[in-house]
A and B are shown apart, each in its own frame.
Chain A
Amino acid sequence: WESFLPSQVLVQPVQLICLYAPAYHLILEGILILWIIRLLFSKTYKLQERSDLTPKEKEELIEEWQPEPLVPPVPKDHPALNYNVVSGPPTHIITVNGKECINFASFNFLGLLDNEKVKVTMIAFLIRKQVNYLRFLHFFSQIDVHLELEERLAKFMRTEEAIIYSYGFATIASAIPAYSKRGDIVFVDEAACFAIQKGLQASRSNIKLFKHNDMADLERLLKEQETEDQKNPRKARVTRRFIVVEGLYMNTGDVCPLPELIKLKYKYKVRIFLEESLSFGVLGEHGRGITEHFGINIDDIDLISANMENSLASIGGFCCGRSFIIDHQRLSGQGYCFSASLPPLLAAAAIEALNIMEDNPDIFQTLRAKCERIHELLQGISGLKVVGESFSPALHLQLEESCGSRENDVKLLKRVVDYCMNSGIALTQARYLEKEEKCLPPPSIRVVVTVEQTEQELDKAASLLKEAAQSVLN
């Protein structure tokens, strides 16, 4: 047992090796052992160390760095800085900057802002329930009024379900990212409004713009996508596609060619999202929007989104469609889940407005007649051209010839607007964020037609605009 002493166990084999192994073998193994020992004792290699700056140098860098000011200064005469102050309600007769004018600038198409019945209902609601605010949506804030409004809207639009948002802008801006995610493809019209652009930006999808109302261009893009798909069918099977269009475009006053879009939808298997903020309560025999105007089955449109701030003269927005689609937004629409819901008072106002719309279907005809009248009257003004369909209640008046820079155009149009305001017609220029818009429309004056305007007032507005154009532009 003495032969198992540690020294003997170690020494004997080593001696044997040294005797019988070839020399190069020993040398190589010796070098290897030395290398391992070196690695074991050397410092760890830090990949994070991106620079060799000493703490003192870092302090100096921190001292030297000067940030930009939080906001650049805005010149005092910036056209968007000085708002028009409206004293009192923005109804048919509006007091702007102290002067009484006829309102041709607020989107109060059906005149429901000042409607007595709506006001009486709201006050009754206030006395009965006294709620004019709300809570974060999931928890104790879905009041019976909301449920009623959702049902009524769904019934009115003849869809399965509707969902209410508390802010018009947030409606489409939350609806698009709920369905379209990174990697999906969205075909959108160039003239789409800012809310749609923000929704698309939030969705992180691939955006493909097609020329305004140009179905040939859209078909070209769809064909290109089809050839792409054939190269990679596995990816194509999970890439969702959408077309986003507006019923009545805010920026140009045109309608989208919906029947052709439906044909393209079934041919290329794309879903359609329709934004009907301007056309809801305006187009169609009963005010149901562009689907009624063209006589299209509402189930062919996957999602209709509109805001209640124009025809319904309330606040907020809604989306309607089949339950399969709308229900998804209750858990994944950001503006719905993470935000307080619509104050019940305003929901009650919307319900009453809807009642009035259903009871008086002839106001749509009246509105349409007035739109066509003003469209005709405004033709032939020297220096200004009318942009928009004849039945669109929100028209644009653009300069026939630009004077070189956008700034000068804006100033010129401002003088026209001021001339009209001084003579009793309230108008406004269409406002845009110049640096943020994808396709900036040219500067224009917005002319809004409502049912409350009489024929004399329409004539007066047209003649005043003629005069203003004459004196300012010539």
Chain B
Amino acid sequence: MLSEPLPCSCGLNHIVHNGGLYKRPFNEAFEETPMLVAVLTYVGYGVLTLFGYLRDFMRQWKIEKCQNATEREEQKDFVPLYQDFENFYNRNLYMRIRDSWNRPICSVPGAKVDMMERVSHDYNWTFTYTGRVIKDIINMGSYNYLGFAQKAGTCQEAAAKVLSQYGAGVCSTRQEMGNLDKHEELEKLVARFLGVESAMAYGMGFATNSMNIPALVGKGCLILSDELNHASLVLGARLSGATIRIFKHNNMQSLEKLLKDAIVHGQPRTRRPWKKILILVEGIYSMEGSIVRLPEVIALKKKYKSYLYLDEAHSIGALGPSGRGVVEYFGLSPEDVDVMMGTFTKSFGAAGGYIGGKKELIDYLRTYSHSAVYATSLSPPVVEQIITSMKCIMGEDGTNVGKARVQQLAENTRYFRRRLKEMGFIIYGNEDSPVVPLMLYMPAKIGAFGREMLKRNIGVVVVGFPATPIIESRARFCLSAAHTKEMLDTALKEINEVGDLLQLKYSRHRLVPLLDRPFDETTYEETED
């Protein structure tokens, strides 16, 4: 199943030309935006902006009632807390379709979810809950790759036992009195799961990046970060004080050029050599659905003697024949990656993050990581949930459930993506990525898509500016091993209907694989903080 060439709907088979490094075909495509659609999208935003100015004008002249909260009377002569323009987008564009986000749910967000119904009588400024609960919505928005978000099961019993023994909190930091035996057990298990020497666990995935990257690099070091890296990686890189340079998304020529230039020319003005170079990449990029070109990155890293920091927030548990992540997916050795970071939120049904690597690295992090010194450690029931689900994936609980789920996810991914492409939607990303972005482009369609799908009992997530470039708004489906084929078929049928209704089938089957796009030499950026 894994070695046969995957047929695309256009009949071509895009195999990367560095074929020697890849043991399996790497099919990634980002179809170009049709020109008419781009123009109409800009026009749409233009109209919205004009109306936004008009409404602001009316609000200022009190023709229209101002709905948002205002400053206290006593503090009216203080410097305004928000600039008017900062909130322009918020007031006039986001507020119109605000009901598509922050929808409160009242059950486990598994394959199906119950949502609290809410209505707004004043165009989304305030919401009231009708009290009714919409039941059994097919959940295509939660990151539940292996389906561990479920009601009953061994995870729950184990968690209950640990709860009654340990309680919820820890009330201390790792280095003081917060290092429980459960944490040590978890870290040994994580190290075994990843195939590395040692691992360390933290309470929050976001904080794992923002607190450990500054511990690893500092002034005089260079960070090469992918264009589309997550906010936590960007924040961690900024807080470290190192120089940051950005290479084009998943573009290996861009990365190689940056590496060459960095080593040959050294630091910007002093020309001293860099102390070390750290490459920050993610396993799966959740907004694009693309998978990092890991074999090439590792080849480059070895050639230029730099270090690799791999953030597997989305790919751990979701890729690879036994769910060990993107390293296993490409058939590489975990020793090639210097710092393997990941989170427990997506595939394990818990919270927190981890870092795995060599023993010296983890010893250093135990001593100098900001999280170990100042932040509370993981909560015991959460730790138990991670241990149970990890053992399940590894097969150590005696069943085949873990392996079956990993395979089910891979099949669901292939099936879903293939069907959507056949229907004619523009889908970004790699064939094997369980995150499926479906392009909407126009601002009005963002709100319409979310609402129409909810009417048909399918919960989807729509994303617009500023999480994506302004014209590339999209709907993002997250597949799960808990989705059965019937659920996927129902969802596909509804998506097809809505696609016809909203005219979303933009694809002209002219797929342009990322590698063929010519690399533009003049646009690499250098940011110095």
Min CB distance, B493 to chain A, in Å? 22
| B203 close to A (CB within 8 Å) | yes
CA–CA, A333 and B311, complex, Å: 22
| B184 close to A (CB within 8 Å) | yes
A169 touches B168 (CB 8 A): no
B230 touches A338 (CB 8 A): yes
Interface centre among A103, A132, A299 (most CB of B within 10 A): A132
A312's nearest neighbour on chain B, judged by CB, is B169
| B61 close to A (CB within 8 Å) | no
| A263 close to B (CB within 8 Å) | no
Against B, the Cβ 8 Å flags (1 = close, 0 = not) of A228-240 are: 0000000011111
Min CB distance, B85 to chain A, in Å? 12
Contact of A136 among B82, B143, B178, B360 (CB under 8 A): B143
A73 touches B360 (CB 8 A): yes
Q: Answer whether A131 and B108 are a contact pair too, CB < 8 Å, given A240-B79, A315-B203.
A: yes
Q: Answer whether A140 and B166 are a contact pair too, CB < 8 Å, given A62-B264, A133-B350.
A: no
A349's nearest neighbour on chain B, judged by CB, is B168
Min CB distance, B35 to chain A, in Å? 31
A138 touches B101 (CB 8 A): yes
| A367 close to B (CB within 8 Å) | no
A58 touches B264 (CB 8 A): yes
A86 touches B179 (CB 8 A): yes
Contact of A118 among B141, B168, B348 (CB under 8 A): B168
CA–CA, A141 and B117, complex, Å: 15
Min CB distance, B160 to chain A, in Å? 5
B382 touches A89 (CB 8 A): no
Contact of A70 among B69, B165, B338, B350 (CB under 8 A): B338
| B216 close to A (CB within 8 Å) | yes
Q: Which residues of B contact A310 (CB under 8 A)?
A: 171
Residues 119 to 154 of chain B near chain A (Cβ within 8 Å): 139, 141-144, 149-152
Interface centre among A72, A238, A340 (most CB of B within 10 A): A340
CA–CA, A141 and B235, complex, Å: 23
Q: Which residues of B contact A103 (CB under 8 A)?
A: 177
CA–CA, A344 and B371, complex, Å: 23
| A53 close to B (CB within 8 Å) | yes
| B33 close to A (CB within 8 Å) | no
Q: Which residues of B contact A61 (CB under 8 A)?
A: 263-264
Min CB distance, B288 to chain A, in Å? 16
Q: Answer whether A313 and B167 are a contact pair too, CB < 8 Å, given A83-B366, A428-B177.
A: yes
A74 touches B171 (CB 8 A): no
Q: Which residues of B contact A324 (CB under 8 A)?
A: 69-72, 81
CA–CA, A239 and B113, complex, Å: 46
| A28 close to B (CB within 8 Å) | no
A314 touches B169 (CB 8 A): yes
| B245 close to A (CB within 8 Å) | no
* Among B8-16, B268-276, B501-509, the stretch in contact with A: B268-276
Against B, the Cβ 8 Å flags (1 = close, 0 = not) of A138-154 are: 11111110110000000
Interface centre among B164, B169, B178, B363 (most CB of A within 10 A): B169
Contact of A132 among B102, B164, B350 (CB under 8 A): B350
Q: Which residues of A contact B170 (CB under 8 A)?
A: 90, 106, 309, 315
Q: Which residues of B contact A68 (CB under 8 A)?
A: 275-276
Number of residue pairs spanning A and B whose beta carbons lie under 8 angstroms apart: 341
Min CB distance, B64 to chain A, in Å? 19
Contact of B179 among A85, A170, A194, A266 (CB under 8 A): A85
Q: Which residues of B contact A193 (CB under 8 A)?
A: 374
| B468 close to A (CB within 8 Å) | no
Q: Answer whether A340 and B345 are a contact pair too, CB < 8 Å, given A140-B105, A346-B379.
A: yes
A198's nearest neighbour on chain B, judged by CB, is B239
CA–CA, A432 and B373, complex, Å: 6
Q: Which residues of A contact B160 (CB under 8 A)?
A: 123, 126-127
Residues 290 to 325 of chain B near chain A (Cβ within 8 Å): 304-307
Against A, the Cβ 8 Å flags (1 = close, 0 = not) of B52-86 are: 00000000000000000111101101111111000
| B205 close to A (CB within 8 Å) | yes
| B172 close to A (CB within 8 Å) | yes
CA–CA, A314 and B167, complex, Å: 9
| B370 close to A (CB within 8 Å) | yes
* Among A107-115, A451-459, A460-468, the stretch in contact with B: A107-115
CA–CA, A78 and B366, complex, Å: 11
| B201 close to A (CB within 8 Å) | no
B69 touches A327 (CB 8 A): yes
Contact of B176 among A141, A307, A338, A446 (CB under 8 A): A446
CA–CA, A70 and B364, complex, Å: 10
CA–CA, A157 and B363, complex, Å: 42
Contact of B164 among A123, A204, A335, A340 (CB under 8 A): A123
Q: Answer whether A129 and B108 are a contact pair too, CB < 8 Å, given A140-B141, A338-B232, A345-B381.
A: yes
B163 touches A122 (CB 8 A): yes
A167 touches B207 (CB 8 A): yes
A130 touches B70 (CB 8 A): no
CA–CA, A447 and B396, complex, Å: 42
CA–CA, A436 and B216, complex, Å: 13
Residues 352 to 381 of chain B near chain A (Cβ within 8 Å): 360-361, 363-368, 370-376, 379-381
A331 touches B163 (CB 8 A): no
A170 touches B204 (CB 8 A): yes
CA–CA, A315 and B232, complex, Å: 20
A147 touches B104 (CB 8 A): yes
| B159 close to A (CB within 8 Å) | yes
B109 touches A135 (CB 8 A): yes
| B231 close to A (CB within 8 Å) | yes
A431 touches B167 (CB 8 A): no
CA–CA, A455 and B166, complex, Å: 25
CA–CA, A107 and B375, complex, Å: 12
A328 touches B361 (CB 8 A): no
| B96 close to A (CB within 8 Å) | no
B106's nearest neighbour on chain A, judged by CB, is A144
Min CB distance, A3 to chain B, in Å? 52
Q: Which residues of A contact B167 (CB under 8 A)?
A: 89, 91, 113-115, 118-119, 313, 349
A76's nearest neighbour on chain B, judged by CB, is B363
A50 touches B370 (CB 8 A): no
CA–CA, A383 and B519, complex, Å: 68
Contact of B102 among A66, A89, A142, A338 (CB under 8 A): A142
Contact of B238 among A72, A135, A202, A299 (CB under 8 A): A202
Against B, the Cβ 8 Å flags (1 = close, 0 = not) of A193-211 are: 1110010011010000000
| A323 close to B (CB within 8 Å) | yes
A106 touches B338 (CB 8 A): no
CA–CA, A436 and B379, complex, Å: 27
CA–CA, A105 and B171, complex, Å: 9
B374 touches A195 (CB 8 A): yes
B235 touches A346 (CB 8 A): no
A to B CB contacts below 8 Å, 18 in the list: A62-B263, A67-B306, A70-B338, A70-B339, A71-B365, A123-B160, A129-B108, A130-B151, A135-B144, A139-B101, A139-B461, A140-B105, A146-B104, A338-B232, A339-B205, A431-B175, A433-B374, A436-B214
Closest 9 CB pairs of A and B: A167-B204, A71-B364, A324-B69, A349-B168, A83-B179, A339-B206, A169-B375, A105-B177, A313-B169
Q: Which residues of B contact A (CB under 8 A)?
A: 69-72, 74-75, 77-83, 90, 94, 101-109, 113, 116, 139, 141-144, 149-152, 156, 159-160, 163-181, 184, 203-207, 210-211, 214, 216, 230-232, 235, 238-239, 260, 263-265, 273-277, 304-307, 338-339, 343-345, 348-351, 360-361, 363-368, 370-376, 379-382, 385, 459, 461, 529
